[in-house]
Amino acid sequence: MDGARNGSSGGPGGAVAGPASGSRCLHRVARERDAGPAWWRAAPLDEGVRLRAMAAADRRAGLRERALRSARPDALVVDVVGDHWTDLPGDVPGDDDESVTRQALAGGAALVWGAALPADRGTGRAGLRCTLAAVPGGGYVPVLVVNHKVVDPRRSRRSSGAVVTRLLDWDPAPDPTLRLRRHPADLDRLVHAWHLLEALGYAASHPVGAVLGLGSARAVVHELDPVLAAADRNHATRLAVLRGEVDTAPSRVGECRTCPWWEGWDDRGTLVAGCRDRLVVADDVSLVVGGGQVGPVRAAGVRTVAELAEAGPERPPDWNGEPFSDAVLRARAHRDGEVVVPKVARPTIPRADIEVDVDLESHLDDGAYLWGTLLTLRDGRRLEAEGYRPFATWARLPDPDEGRSFAEFWRWLTGIRDRAEGQGRTFRAYCYFRSAENGWMLSTATRFGPEGTVAEVRGVPSVAEVRGFLSSPQWVDVHEAVATQFVSTSGLGLKVVAPVAGFRWRDPDAGGEASIGWYRDAQASRGVERERGRERIMAYNEDDVRATRAVREWISRGI
Under 8 Å between Cβ of 40 and 167: no
Instruction: Determine the pLDDT at residue 8.
Output: 44
Over residues 497-507, the pLDDT tens digits come to 999 999 999 98
Average pLDDT value for the chain: 86
In this structure, which amino acid lies at residue 106? Answer: A
Paired strand residues for 304: 284
Does the pLDDT value for residue 36 go beyond 90?
Answer: no
Average pLDDT over residues 112-122: 91
Q: What angle do CA 6, 8, 13 make, to 5 degrees?
A: 160
3-state secondary structure 441-462: HHHHHHHHCCCCCCCCCCCCCC
Q: In this structure, what CATH number is given to the domain that contains residue 546? A: 3.30.420
**Range of weakest confidence among 32-41, 295-304, 386-395:** 32-41
Over residues 204-225, the pLDDT tens digits come to 999 999 998 877 788 999 999 9
Residue 260 domain flag: yes
Does the pLDDT value for residue 361 go beyond 60?
Answer: yes
- Residue 64 pLDDT class (50, 70, 90 cuts): low
Instruction: Determine the pLDDT at residue 169.
Output: 86
How many folded domains does the chain comprise?
3
Does the pLDDT value for residue 6 go beyond 60?
Answer: no
Q: Give the long-range contacts of residues 336-340, CB within 8 A, separation 24 or more.
A: 338/489, 339/488, 339/489, 339/490, 339/496, 339/500, 340/482, 340/486, 340/487, 340/488, 340/489, 340/492, 340/496, 340/497, 340/500
- Residue 5 pLDDT class (50, 70, 90 cuts): very low
- Residue 48 pLDDT class (50, 70, 90 cuts): low
Average pLDDT over residues 323-352: 95
Does the pLDDT value for residue 51 go beyond 90?
Answer: no
Q: What are phi and psi of 389, to 5 degrees?
A: -135, 120
Do 325 and 432 lie in a common domain? Answer: no
Over residues 222-242, the pLDDT tens digits come to 999 999 999 999 899 999 998
- Residue 22 pLDDT class (50, 70, 90 cuts): low
Distance, CA of 113 to CA of 380 (rounded, Å)? 63
Do 391 and 517 lie in a common domain? Answer: yes
**Range of weakest confidence among 12-16, 99-103, 334-338:** 12-16
Residue 275 DSSP label:
H
Instruction: Determine the pLDDT at residue 558.
Output: 77
Do 321 and 384 lie in a common domain? Answer: no
In this structure, which amino acid lies at residue 371? Answer: W
- Residue 477 pLDDT class (50, 70, 90 cuts): very high
Q: What are phi and psi of 359, to 5 degrees?
A: -150, 135
Do 101 and 174 lie in a common domain? Answer: yes
Do 225 and 366 lie in a common domain? Answer: no
Over residues 254-298, the pLDDT tens digits come to 888 888 888 876 555 555 668 999 999 999 999 999 878 899 999
Does the pLDDT value for residue 413 go beyond 70?
Answer: yes
Instruction: Determine the pLDDT at residue 265.
Output: 61
Residue 396 domain flag: yes
Burial class (CB in 10 A: 0-12, 13-18, 19+), 56: buried
Residue 10 domain flag: no
Residue 5 domain flag: no
In which domain, by residue range, is 455 found? 354-556
Instruction: Determine the pLDDT at residue 146.
Output: 85
Instruction: Please list, in sequence order, all residues whose beta carbon lies within 8 angstroms of the beta carbon of residue 307, skipping any fewer than 6 positions away.
Output: 285, 301
Note the residue count of the chain.
Answer: 559
Do 218 and 316 lie in a common domain? Answer: no
Instruction: Determine the pLDDT at residue 9.
Output: 47
**Range of weakest confidence among 79-93, 120-134, 188-202:** 79-93
Q: E-assigned strands of 224-366? A: 340-342, 354-363
Residue 381 domain flag: yes
Do 82 and 227 lie in a common domain? Answer: yes
Do 333 and 367 lie in a common domain? Answer: no
Q: Please give the span between the terminal C-alpha atoms of the chain, in angstroms, as a whole number.
A: 44
3-state secondary structure 189-257: HHHHHHHHHHHHCCECCCCEEEEEEECCCCEEEEECHHHHHHHHHHHHHHHHHHCCCCCCCCCCCHHHH
Where is the domain boundary, 212, 242, 272?
Answer: 242
In this structure, which amino acid lies at residue 437? Answer: E
Centre a 10 Å sphere on the Cβ of residue 6 and count the other Cβ atoms it contains: 21
Burial class (CB in 10 A: 0-12, 13-18, 19+), 409: buried
- Residue 321 pLDDT class (50, 70, 90 cuts): confident
Do 454 and 536 lie in a common domain? Answer: yes
Cα Rg of the chain (Å, integer): 26
Residue 279 domain flag: yes
Residue 1 domain flag: no
Residue 180 domain flag: yes
**Range of weakest confidence among 90-99, 207-216, 407-416, 446-455:** 90-99
Centre a 10 Å sphere on the Cβ of residue 369 and count the other Cβ atoms it contains: 25
Which H or E element spans position 534?
helix 527-556
Over residues 392-406, the pLDDT tens digits come to 999 998 899 999 999
Does the pLDDT value for residue 76 go beyond 50?
Answer: yes
**Percent of the chain at pLDDT exceeding 90:** 59
Do 312 and 398 lie in a common domain? Answer: no
Average pLDDT over residues 312-333: 91
